[in-house]
Chains A and B, each alone.
Chain A
Amino acid sequence: MLGLLLPALRVSLVTWVLCGIAYPLSVTGLGQLLLPYQANGSLVRSPNGTILGSRLIGQEWRGPQWFHGRPSATTASDPDAPGKTVAAPYNAAASGGSNLGPTSRTLAGRLVAERRAAEAAEPGLAGKLLPADMLTASASGLDPDISPAFAALQAPRVAAARGAPVGWVAALVIRHTQGRTFGIFGEPRVNVLELNLDLLASQPPRRGS
């Protein structure tokens, strides 16, 4: 019996040290040494060093002057009722999707409500087909990207709110559009945080010039 248990115990401990401790710590050391920007979360900082967010993690944007991301289904624990959760879009401390299925009445209601809200903000959208990512919640609730079509749709609103030419905003969108990897993999996309930061940093050309 001891001949069975002793080596089993020893091999458990040896592989534990090797795979559970030495391996992740070596990767941490190498990552911090070789690729510190990514290893620490691809953080975006303001000129004075404040962390504005991560380029990989979406944020909630309000108001017509910014490009908005997709609906987010993340939640946070309810401060008033322990054990319950409340909606908390883009909660990067607790990721997740809606997990609502294709015959869920809750999902149907949410889609209708989002459609109405979109049309209330932009009456021009009434009756139009909307991009597939515009009303649907992402899987992580933290999707940093939107489709180029969704971005293009928002350009006139953003331009009007900022008093900038639509063409200039649309050009910014195109500059921030990433194509498929090697032209094959994934989908074209626009990183919302980077686009909005560029919107903040660049000066629009004067009207009429």
Chain B
Amino acid sequence: MTMQSWLQVGVTLAVIFLLSIPVGRYLAAIVTERKTWLDPVFDPIDAAIYRLIGQGAASQPMNWKAYTCHMLATNLFMAILIYLILVFQDYLPLNPLKLPGMAPMLAFNTAVSFITNTDWQGYGGETTLSNFSQMAAITFPMFTSATTGFVVAMAFIRAFIVTDGGANLGNFYRDLVRFTTRVLLPLSLVLAIFMIWQGAPQTLAASVVAHPIQGGEQTIAIGPVASLETIKHLGTNGGGFFNANAAHPFENPTPLSNWLLIGLMALLPSALVVCFGRMIGKPRQGWVLYGVMSALLLLILPVTIAAEQDGTPMLAKAGIELQATAGQPGGNMEGKEVRFGITQSGLFGVITTSFTTGSVNSMHDSFTPLGAVPEFIGMMLQNVFGGKGVGFLAALVYGLIAVFLAGRMVGRTPEFLGKTIEQPEIIMVSLALLIHPLVILAPSAWSMIEPYGLASLSNAAMHGYSEVLYAFSSAAANNGSAFAGLNADTPWYNLALGLVILIGRYPPIIFMMAVAGSVAAKPTLATTIGTLRTDTIKFGAFWLGTILVIGALTFFPALVLGPIAEAFAMHHGYSY
């Protein structure tokens, strides 16, 4: 990495870190319903919404089962609504290009994908969706799916602080409304204007016909881009308005907009960790987790940027300058934009997979093999900060296992935040942990055997396998980015990826909510000299080690077959 590159990365990460502290405090104030200076603005709005939902429903205490059921029912209704809009978009307004309704299988895949914060796209936005669909079926769940992940994490944290045995882990509707109106909506509204200022269009027109100087016509797709783009990153969603996603100059016009989008992806997941520390009244514990996640990020981030700057033998053979110079970026620029170069592309690629957003500003399919490995790792571990709420829960899955292992090693009762962690919790946590590799590895293997799986590959040999592994990792992690050469709009991939997305999302949440219910029913033990402390650097290192060992044991063989084998083949000059 060049000095210039380190500077770009360093300044970006420093700003994210500094912002996550006040934002984390604000989040904690919202969740614990402490007063903020914005209350006079938002209280009347929220009150009106509670009346529409039903006063009783929006104020009843919910235990873990009620909370989970209300969350699932709401997600189900939203998914049906999205599905209907997509299938019947030709009967709905704001469709000047007269685009037909979406095919049912693709609409199922898309509805499932957006309601779960995955935003996997088996279609090209500008050629498939009307502006009404982009707003009412795509922008809409970008808010609610982020909120769902966030409020579930909040209910989970409350399990460790309530004193009523878990009868009240909060009210799902109240949490949902407060997070939407007090965090996502105002931030999106302001920053969408910033995105327009940078050049993102925001219009109800669908296309403009230009007449270039050299003759002919250029039809330019356009639409309400800025409003989608902002919440897409703030909510760690990732589904693009255009096929090229955030690489499209309308979605991401300048280095400054790119920088803002990176910041938006990272802001709330990192602030959530600070919020966690404050909610449980043990900021040190929050910082230990923050440290574990940051260590993972810093471990993988330079790999991508360095590998992309190194380029490939194929580029060298074509006589391309691989060293960065004052006048050109060097490195592997296939599938990258000049305004972002190597550093902003690599940084974006790792952030989008670590914080499981899934937006891309460069084509990951064209990355060097080693440059793509950190992206796989981000999605496979899910807790290099991770997506809204869910990444936090994934980190706690590993944390509870670390507590259990450490407790067993030193012969003490495993304890986390004053609650004993025993067999029932560990069974639930293990189930939550094992679903993820199962839904990545099994369907990947299946796709590599069957002709209908192999027919979709656009690259050969190891790289073709990487396309499939990436797709299922992305679906299971609810990430949504792709090695986009894979033709995913086939019955097999629409169905298989749709199911993987569902299984990757809801069962782990349900298992973790069951852990919350179980933990909340236990008495809180006082910290004594015999307690195995979890808010120390030593335990943080053990937590990190647990993630790395379990993650490596689970996924390393799958990576060896794909990008790692390809890296060796590439350096020996093979092509396929």
A residues apposed to B, CB below 8 Å:
3-16, 18-21, 23-28, 30-32, 34-35, 38-43, 50-54, 56-63, 66, 70, 90-105, 107-108, 111-112, 114-115, 127-150, 152, 180-181, 184-189, 196-197, 200
Whether a CB of chain A sits under 8 angstroms from the CB of B448 is: no
| A130/B189 in contact, CB under 8 A | no
| Residue in B127, B197, B314 whose beta carbon sits within 8 Å of that of A111 in the complex | B314
A200-B335 contact given A14-B53, A27-B227, A115-B318, CB 8 Å threshold:
no
Which one of A181, A185, A200 contacts B213 once the chains associate, using CB atoms below 8 Å?
A200
Smallest CB gap from A77: residue in B: B127
Interface stretch of the complex, out of B245-253, B272-280, B410-418, B540-548: B245-253
Q: Tell me, rounded to whole Å, the shortest Cβ–Cβ distance linking B159 to chain A.
A: 21
A-contact 0/1 string along B172-192, CB 8 Å cutoff:
010011001100110011001
A7 with B124: CB separation less than 8 A: no
Are B196 and A97 in touch, CB under 8 angstroms?
Answer: no
The answer to whether B244 touches A141 (Cβ under 8 A) is: yes
Minimum Cβ distance to chain A for residue B301 (Å): 16
Docked-complex contact A96 and B180, CB < 8 angstroms:
no
Docked-complex contact A20 and B70, CB < 8 angstroms = no
Asked if B53 and A7 sit within 8 Å, CB to CB, the answer is yes
A95 B248 Cβ-Cβ under 8 A = yes
Chain B residues near A10: list those with CB within 8 A: 52-54
Q: Is B529 an interface residue (CB 8 A)?
A: no
Contact A100:B193 (CB < 8 A) given known A51-B210, A111-B318: no
Please state if A130 and B320 are interface contacts (CB–CB under 8 Å).
yes
Tell me which of B289-297, B360-368, B503-511 binds A: B360-368
Evaluate contact between B335 and A143: CB separation under 8 angstroms. Answer: no
Q: Would you list 25 pairs from A and B whose C-beta atoms are within 8 A, ordered by A residue? A: A8-B74, A14-B52, A19-B142, A24-B135, A24-B227, A24-B228, A35-B193, A38-B198, A42-B201, A56-B199, A63-B214, A94-B126, A97-B334, A99-B366, A100-B365, A101-B566, A111-B315, A115-B319, A132-B328, A142-B244, A143-B338, A145-B338, A146-B338, A184-B8, A187-B343
Question: Which residues from A are CB-within-8-Å of B331?
Answer: 132
Interface string of B327-340 (1 = CB under 8 A from A): 11111111111111
Identify the interface centre among B76, B249, B253: most chain A CB within 10 Å of its CB.
B249
Look across to chain A and name the residue whose beta carbon is closest to the beta carbon of B131. A24
When the two chains form their complex, are residues B318 and A15 in contact, meaning their CB atoms are under 8 A apart? Answer: no
Contact between chains at B254 and A24 (CB < 8 Å)? no
- The 7 tightest CB contacts between A and B, nearest first, are A186-B255, A20-B140, A149-B327, A99-B485, A139-B247, A7-B57, A187-B341
Q: Which of A6, A95, A101 contacts B243 (CB 8 A)?
A: A95
Closest to A50 in B: B211
Let me know if B185 and A41 touch, CB within 8 A: no
Residues of B within 8 A of A53 (CB): 210, 212, 218, 220
**Inside 8 A of A28's CB, which chain B residues have their CB?**
202-204, 224, 227
Which of A38, A52, A132 has most B Cβ within 10 Å? A132
Q: Is the CB of A57 within 8 A of B203?
A: no
Report chain B residues within 8 Å CB of A186: 254-256, 258, 339-341, 344
4 extra A-B contacts, CB within 8 A, seeds A39-B202, A108-B314: A15-B180, A94-B124, A103-B459, A138-B336
B411 to chain A, nearest CB (A): 45
Q: How many residues of chain B are within 8 Å of chain A by beta carbon? A: 135
CA distance A45 to B124 in the complex (A): 28
CA distance A8 to B81 in the complex (A): 12
Q: Are A38 and B322 in contact (CB under 8 A)?
A: no
Could you say which of A27, A50, A57, A97 contacts B484, with CB atoms under 8 Å apart?
A: A97
B429 in the interface, Cβ–Cβ < 8 Å?
no
Residue B242 at the A interface, CB < 8 A?
yes
Please name all residues of chain B whose beta carbon is closer than 8 Å to the beta carbon of A43 when the two chains form the complex: 208, 210
Residues of B within 8 A of A6 (CB): 54, 57
B77 (CB) vs chain A CBs: closest residue: A12
Q: How far is the CB of A208 from chain B (nearest CB, A)?
A: 29
Residues on B with C-beta less than 8 A from A188 are 326-327
Check A4–B70 contact: CB distance below 8 A: yes
Cβ-neighbour of B332 out of A102, A129, A185 (below 8 A): A102
With known contacts A12-B81, A41-B222, A99-B458, A187–B318 Cβ distance under 8 A: no
Complex: A16 Cα to B266 Cα, angstroms: 25
Q: Please, how many angstroms separate the alpha-carbon atoms of A196 and B212 in the complex? A: 11
Smallest CB–CB gap between A68 and chain B, Å? 11
Residues from 213 to 267 in B contacting A, C-beta threshold 8 Å: 213-214, 218-222, 224, 226-228, 231, 242-244, 247-250, 253-256, 258-259
Which residues of B are found within 8 Å of A4, using beta-carbon distances? 69-70, 73
Which of A41, A100, A147, A187 has a CB less than 8 Å from the CB of B201?
A41
| Distance (whole angstroms) from the CB of A96 to the closest CB of chain B | 5
| Minimum C-beta distance from B201 to chain A (A) | 5
CB distance from A148 to the nearest CB of B (A): 4
Determine if A147 and B319 form an interchain contact, defined as CB atoms under 8 angstroms apart. Answer: no
Contact in complex: B74, A149 (CB < 8 Å)? no
User: A residues within 8 A CB of B361?
Assistant: 139
**Which B433-463 residues have a C-beta within 8 angstroms of A?**
458-463
Residue with the greatest number of chain A CB neighbours at <10 A, chosen from B337, B483, B569: B337
Q: How far is the CB of B311 from chain A (nearest CB, A)?
A: 8
Report B-chain residues with C-beta under 8 Å of the C-beta of A112. Answer: 318
Is B550 an interface residue, CB under 8 A from the partner?
A: no
Query: Across the interface, do B74 and A147 meet the contact criterion of CB distance under 8 Å?
Result: no
Asked if B576 is at the interface of the complex by the 8 Å CB criterion, the answer is yes
Contact A138 B320 (CB under 8 A): no
With CB as the reference atom, state the residue of chain B lying closest to A22: B185
Bits for B352-374, please: 1 = Cβ < 8 Å to A, else 0.
Answer: 00000000111101111100000
Contact present for A149 and B328 (CB under 8 Å): yes
B570 at the interface (CB under 8 A from A): yes
| Bound CA–CA A41/B242 (angstroms) | 14
Chain A residues near B369: list those with CB within 8 A: 102-103
Min CB–CB distance B114 → chain A (angstroms): 11
Contacts A26-B189, A59-B218, A97-B484 hold; do A132 and B320 have CB atoms under 8 A apart?
yes
Question: For residue B78, which residues in chain A have a CB less than 8 angstroms away from its CB?
Answer: 12, 15-16
Measured CB to CB, the nearest residue on chain A to B321 is A129
A133 and B193 contact, Cβ closer than 8 Å, known pairs A102-B312, A107-B314, A141-B244: no
Task: Report the bound CA distance from A94 to B124 in whole Å.
Answer: 7
Assess whether B202 is in contact with A7, with CB atoms less than 8 Å apart.
Answer: no
Whether a CB of chain A sits under 8 angstroms from the CB of B514 is no
Closest to A126 in B: B319
B185, chain A: closest CB distance, angstroms: 6
Q: CB-nearest residue of chain B relative to A149?
A: B327
Q: What distance in Å separates the Cβ of B129 from its nearest Cβ neighbour in chain A?
A: 13
Q: Please state if B566 and A102 are interface contacts (CB–CB under 8 Å).
A: yes
* Interface residue? B49 (CB, 8 A): yes
Residue B406 CB within 8 A of the other chain: no
Q: Are B201 and A40 in contact (CB under 8 A)?
A: yes
Q: How far is the CB of A172 from chain B (nearest CB, A)?
A: 16
Contact B203 A187 (CB under 8 A): no
Return chain B residues, CB-CB under 8 Å to A41. Answer: 201, 203, 208, 220, 222, 250
B-chain residues with CB within 8 Å of residue A132 when the two chains form the complex:
311, 315, 320-322, 328-333
Chain A residues whose C-beta falls within 8 Å of the C-beta of B231 in the assembled complex: 19, 23
